[in-house]
Every structure is written in structure tokens, then in C-alpha cells.
Structure 1
Amino acid sequence: MAEHGTDEHPHGADRLCEAGDRVYSRAVRRGRVPRRDAETAPCLLELALLHPDPDDMDWLVPTAPQEVMTRLLRAVYDEVGESHRRVGSAVAAFERYTGLGRRDPAASTEGSSIRVLDGLARIQAAMDEATEACTTEVLTVQPGGIRREHELAEGLHRAMTLRGRGVRMRDLYNHVARHGQGLLTYLELMGDAVEARTLDEVIDRLILFDRTVAFIPANPERTMALELRHPALIQYLATVFERLWRLAIPLTAPLPDTGIEGISHREQSIAALLAEGHQDAVIAERLGISVRTCRAHIARLSETLGAASRTQLGVRIAQAGLDGPPRTASTDPALSVPGVPGSRLPAARGSRTVR
């Protein structure tokens, strides 16, 4: 409720108010509580003792008491003057909660392995904490189009911190990101600390630290994120990254030739997605380009292949072999295309060629 502001709950996690104690105890016993139950104790969300259930945002799950106690003790030891008093207070406050959670071990496991970060401030704080703990490598997938300089600058302080510790970084982008000066400047600044590769399509954003903790978006606006620490999930995401990495092309290497004069690599990618039946907006999103740019490429593709309509374009794409793995004109006569120098593909029966 609006009247229950943080001013009415001026305390820390080691000395909960009566309402907070009641709701948190219920959450630990049951594994989760309805979001409405926490309206009288906003301190629980403020202190990250409760967080949204990844499977149902109308429910809140408790952070494991052991995790809360560890977090408290870390802060306590930083406050040398009050360390002894606050350590005793923290332990006393959470020993009882630990006992309450023993009936449902899965609840505490989930609470520590999947955490919902609600709000950009919490996401940034969690990322900073993971950066400080990272010692070996960071793997990232950065979807979308050309990276704007302000987007790159947001995480630059973390990247520089990692570089200073000798951490290896590998980044995956869409091919279109190659055309952004901001990315080139960033990579030049980072030097050998970062290796970048590109693909036609990549998965949604992923940041993986030391193969122990990963961050992925939890909503389209990216104002919420999931912090993942479950070993099986981490292993799965790392495997996905490594397979994409093997397919990707180093940023320093040129994109492969399509083997068809007048058709660019991007137009070949668009042709393959058109053959799968995707609409312009879907194709644009998957390749990280605007719908307007996508349609301009489709128009050029139609002209090159001599297609007078979308239906005919689909036929031409299939005849040219652009609906599957790339082939070269020198090794496959099926690539002969009307209107393309040196090509001999016959026009579709009953169709006309646009010249």
C-alpha cells in the first residue's frame, strides 16, 4: 500500500520489523507468498529478502536465510568499529529462519540459484558484484543492431576492471554491429583483452562470469533480469555460447562471399528467412536491422533475382539455392539467376522477368 513507505521501516535485514518478520517467516516456511502479503512490509523487497517468483510474478519467494546471513556478515566485517556487535545480531536474527526452511530444501536452493533483479539499479549492483568476483573469463552475447556509444559506455568501467585483472572476454554480436564506430573504438580501447565475433543471428542478451553466474533479461524492456547460479543452467548456457562461437566469424575477418554476383551476405540471410515464411518485422529483429532497411534489401534482392512479386521472389530464392546452406556459382549450376551476369537459370514457367 502507498502509505507503507520505507520511512516507516527504518531498519536493516538483521532486525526486521514485526510485519517483516511475520511475512518473511511465512515465506520461508511455505516457499513463497502472494505479492499482496508483502504490501505491509515493503522493507522485505527493499532489502532483497523477497523477490519475484520467475514462474509467476504475482508471487514472491524468499532469499535463502543462509544467503542473507552471508551477505550481512560480509557488510559487517567491513564496518570494523561495529563488527562484533553486528555479527552477533545477524547470526541471532537468522538462526531461527534457517530452521523454518528445513521442511522445504528446494525452496532455499531455488532462492540462491535463480534470483529476480527488479530495476536497473539492482541489476547494475549485481553485475558490479559479479565483476569484482570474476577472475578468469566473461562470455557475452549482445543482440541488436549497431551498438550506440552510450550503451557501450555503460559497462566500460566493468570491462576496464576485468582487463586490469587479466580476465579474458569474448563477445558475440550480429553482423550488422560491424558497421558501428562505437564498437570498433571500444575494441581498440580494450586491446587483446576482448575477442569479438559476429553472426547473422544471435540469442537474447547473455553475460556469463567465470561459468558460475549468468545474467539474462527477464522482460522485453530489460528493466528486470534473472541472476542464475544453478550449475545445470550455467553449463547449458555455456554450451550454447561455445557452439555459437564456433559458427561465428571473427570481427577482423571479412564476411564470406555469397557466390552470387549482386547479392550481399545480408541479402542472403534475408532470403533464407523469407524462405522460412517470416514477415519483414521478424526478419529485421532477428538480424538487428530496421524494418525499413530490411525492406530495401528485399527490393534489391527482388531486382537482382528478377522477381516481380513476393510469390515469385520465393521461387527465385529456392531456385538460386538461397533458402539453404550457401553454395557457390562455380560448383553448382543451379545458382544461375536471370539478370545476373553469367547465370543461366531458366525463368519460372508462366512468370515474367523484371529488367
Structure 2
Amino acid sequence: MAGHGTDEHPHGADRLCEAGDRVYSRAVRRGRVHRRDAEPVPCLLELALLHPDPDDMDWLVPTSPQEVMTRLLRGVYEEISTSRRRVGSAVEAFEWYAGLGRQVQPAPAAEGPAIRVLDGLARIQAAMDEATQACTTEVLTVQPGGIRREAELSEGLHRAMALRRRGVRMRDLYTHVARHGHGLLSYLELMGDAVEARTLDEVTDRLILFDRTVAFIPANAERTMALELRHPALVDYLVTVFDRFWRLAIPLTAPLPDTGIEGISHRERSIAALLAEGHQDAVIAERLGISVRTCRAHIARLSETLGAASRTQLGVRIAQAGLDRPHPPSLTVPDQESPTAR
């Protein structure tokens, strides 16, 4: 029987292999089989389905099917009994742990789900109105793009006025381009010192944070979907991002710093830095909140000022003039007692 074993017949007595089924069936029908016929199926001996005939050791006789069935059922019953005991032990153990949990009052869960998808402008507006009504302390916003349309400012004015009446402070971040919008200046004049605005060359996508507990960000490019975030880790992360941008930003009422190069404006310096990074005109325009046409006009003036006859040469001249790095922001903040500082 060398070379054969249970590795070649990985089964139990309830699921015999084809060769084992054939030999055991023959043994049951005839009362015995010759030992050489069982050599290919050592599983029958190892499972005690065949055993030597005490009258002739060259022959094997079968264990009766009734006895095999009783043995199998006894094993199944023992497995079930063991499983029941394990289930009872597990229930008993974890009921004790559950009792420990009841001794401590759970922390109050955050209002609403941690992340909620708002599909459609009506749902976004309703969620924003709800957050506005619940807000008691502070609103932080990032407003990307260029000059804000008066219609857009008017749409949010009722919400801002409601916050102002409750003494809520607001801090808004815009791009430098927004400084040229008369609608924004009128809005800030109306809101008074309830709103403080600062600007940067470029900002992140739109972000609105209420009381550092709930945040709203766009969920698609068309801004017809938004995410309402209440998970503390996510909200804390966004607050940190806002605060770091805020420290780098320039108060709206303060002038933009001089570039230090005659004939080159602050915006043109920003464009030069993005050109040096290899960005296309459309990308630069989007990041700075200007039109592609305006962006190209600035690039043309840059080329003229730096004496560059081609785009490649412009890149070289930008590096030579040290314009390939963003201009360090001015961190000078006007005196908070000044009536223009808000």
C-alpha cells in the first residue's frame, strides 16, 4: 500500500471517493474483498470501513452500514454539543462586557450623519438655511473665482443679515480679483464690522463652515451637489486649512504689496509664477479667478515688459527676474481700531 494515503483521499466516511465507494459497495454486497483490491483506497481502512478478516488475513470484511451511520451521527451530535457550549460561553462573557458599557453614559452623537450628500440646489439651500439658523458664534467662508456677481451676493444677503443680528462673526476669503467688484464692496459696507474679508492670489474651492461643527463643500463641478460634513476630524481639518490661508491673506482694505519690479503688477507676478510651473492659460485663469482672455492679455504685457519674443524665452526671463516664485505675502494687518479694518 505504499504511495497511498489520506492525502490522496481527503474525505470522511460520509463522502467517499469514487474508488472507495466502488470497493466498499462490493465488500458490502459480497461480505468481503481481497486485500489487494483495497490497496488503491487506503482510506477505507483508515476510516475503519474495512478491517481484516480474522479467519483469513488476506481478506477484508466491511463494517456494517448501520454501525458506520451510528458512528457518524454520534460525531455530529458531539460537534453540535460543543458548538452550543461555545455559544453559551461567548454570550455569557460578552453580556458581562456589555454590562460594563452600560455603566458609562455614551457621549452625545453629532447631530445628523457625519457625511450627507445634498443633491440639487433646493436641498443645498435648505441645509444651508438650517445651519444658519443653528449658528451662534462664527462663520468661515472661502469664495473662489473672480468678481462675485451681485445676484449671487444678494442671494446670500438674507442669511448673512440673520447671522449679523445674532452677533455671529464672519470671516471671508477671496481671490485678489474680487477686490475690483463693486458688489462685494457694497456688501461689506452693509455688513459693517460683522464681516472681515481678506484676499489671496488663489484659494481652495468653495467652503462654508458654521461654528466649526458643520461644513459645506461642492460635490461636483457644476455645484448642483454638495457635501454636508459633520465628522469632527474632517471639520477640524478644514478649519486648520482655512486658518492657515487666513494668516497668509491680505486684508481687503490693505493695498497689495509691490512686486519690486517696475511695470509688473501683483497679478502679473502671480501669473508668472504659475507659468513657471508649466500651467496652461486656462488653468492659470481658473486658479486666479480671471478669464482666459484677461490672462492672455497679462501674459502679453509680461512678455513686453521682460523683452521676451516667445513663450520659451518668457519662461527664461521669468526665472532670471526671480518671478518664478510666488511673491511673499504681506502679513501686516491694519489696526483693528481702524474703521476700515473688517
Q: Which runs of 5+ in 2 are unaligned?
A: 1-108, 329-342
Structure 2 equivalent of residue 260 of structure 1: 261
Counterparts of 1:278 and 1:169, CA distance in 2: 34
Cα RMSD, aligned residues only? 1.5
Structure 2 equivalent of residue 246 of structure 1: 247
1:72-87 matches, within 5 Å, as: none
Counterparts of 1:182 and 1:109, CA distance in 2: 37
Query: Per-residue deviation at 1:153?
Result: 0.7
Counterparts of 1:170 and 1:123, CA distance in 2: 21
Structure 1 equivalent of residue 179 of structure 2: 178
> Quick one: structure 1 residues 306 and 221, their matched pair in 2 at CA, closer, same or farther if it must change by over 3 Å?
same
Say if 2:246 is the partner of 1:279: no
Q: Which runs of 5+ in 1 are unaligned?
A: 1-107, 328-355
3-state SS of the aligned residue for 2:113?
Answer: helix
In terms of Rg, which structure is larger?
2
Counterparts of 2:206 and 2:327, CA distance in 1: 27
Q: How many residue pairs were aligned?
A: 220
> Quick one: structure 1 residues 234 and 149, their matched pair in 2 at CA, closer, same or farther if it must change by over 3 Å?
same
Alpha-carbon deviations, 1:99-133, whole Å to 9, x = none? xxxxxxxxx99971000000111101000000000
Structure 2 equivalent of residue 140 of structure 1: 141
Task: State, as a whole percentage, how many aligned pairs show the same letter.
Answer: 90
1:222-241 matches, within 5 Å, as: 222-241=223-242
Counterparts of 2:111 and 2:251, CA distance in 1: 38
Query: Per-residue deviation at 1:324?
Result: 1.5
1:10-49 matches, within 5 Å, as: none
3-state SS of the aligned residue for 2:215?
Answer: strand
CA contact 2:112–2:230 (8 Å) conserved in 1: no
Counterparts of 2:208 and 2:278, CA distance in 1: 31
3-state SS of the aligned residue for 2:173?
Answer: strand
Structure 1 equivalent of residue 120 of structure 2: 119
Counterparts of 1:116 and 1:110, CA distance in 2: 15
1:195-344 matches, within 5 Å, as: 195-326=196-327
CA contact 2:119–2:226 (8 Å) conserved in 1: yes
One-letter amino acid matched to 2:232? P
CA contact 2:142–2:207 (8 Å) conserved in 1: yes
Counterparts of 1:311 and 1:211, CA distance in 2: 46
1:156-171 matches, within 5 Å, as: 156-171=157-172
CA contact 2:269–2:326 (8 Å) conserved in 1: no
Structure 2 equivalent of residue 149 of structure 1: 150
CA contact 2:270–2:326 (8 Å) conserved in 1: no
One-letter amino acid matched to 2:138? E
> Quick one: structure 1 residues 159 and 241, their matched pair in 2 at CA, closer, same or farther if it must change by over 3 Å?
same
Alpha-carbon deviations, 1:123-177, whole Å to 9, x = none? 0100000000000000000000100100001111100000000000000000000
Bigger relative CO (Cα 8 Å, ≥ 6 apart): 2
One-letter amino acid matched to 2:310? S
TM-score of the aligned structures, taking structure 1 as reference length = 0.61
One-letter amino acid matched to 2:193? D
Q: Which runs of 4+ in 1 moved over 6 A?
A: 108-111
One-letter amino acid matched to 2:184? L
Counterparts of 1:146 and 1:326, CA distance in 2: 22
Counterparts of 2:110 and 2:201, CA distance in 1: 37
Alpha-carbon deviations, 1:5-61, whole Å to 9, x = none? xxxxxxxxxxxxxxxxxxxxxxxxxxxxxxxxxxxxxxxxxxxxxxxxxxxxxxxxx
Alpha-carbon deviations, 1:248-300, whole Å to 9, x = none? 00000000000000000000000000000000000000000000000000000
Alpha-carbon deviations, 1:291-317, whole Å to 9, x = none? 000000000000000000000000000
Structure 2 equivalent of residue 44 of structure 1: none
Counterparts of 1:252 and 1:109, CA distance in 2: 38
